[in-house]
Amino acid sequence: MDPSKPSSDRRQNERKPLRTTSYLRLPGSRPTAVRSVDISLGGMSIIATANPPSKTSCVLRVGLPAGAQGIKLVEVEAKVLHSVFSGREDGFKVGLSFVNLGAEARQAISSYLSSVR
């Protein structure tokens, strides 16, 4: 890749795969099950049955594998960056950016990321 040319990939944090059921709560709605795709300290990619509008604030609850401790449940505030329908995934691929990531959630995500090869 030529470092003098801007990258089309705006990600600033390394992403690792995370395949689990998470729960997304949009404003005025009950939490709905979504499939997670990957995660980083900056955000997460999910597959959802609904098409949330860009810039929508939401809350995401996700269980992160935590080794001998089992599963660490974290709840994070996020903002929708984009949402596009994927026939291959049979749903909307939604990019989320974490907002005001708390210390406990940051630690749990960091631990998960460092445990994945």
Output the pLDDT for position 68: 81
Output the pLDDT for position 67: 81
Q: How many whole angstroms separate alpha carbon 102 and alpha carbon 81?
A: 20
DSSP for 51-117 reads -PPTT-EEEEEEEEE-GGG-EEEEEEEEEEEEEEEETTTTEEEEEEEEES--HHHHHHHHHHHHH--
Output the pLDDT for position 105: 95
The string of pLDDT tens digits covering residues 45-100 is: 999 999 999 999 999 999 999 888 899 999 999 999 999 999 999 999 999 999 99
Which tokens sit at 19?
């395949």
Torsion over CA: 10, 110, 88, 56 (sign)? negative
For residue 5, is pLDDT > 60?
no
Output the pLDDT for position 1: 39
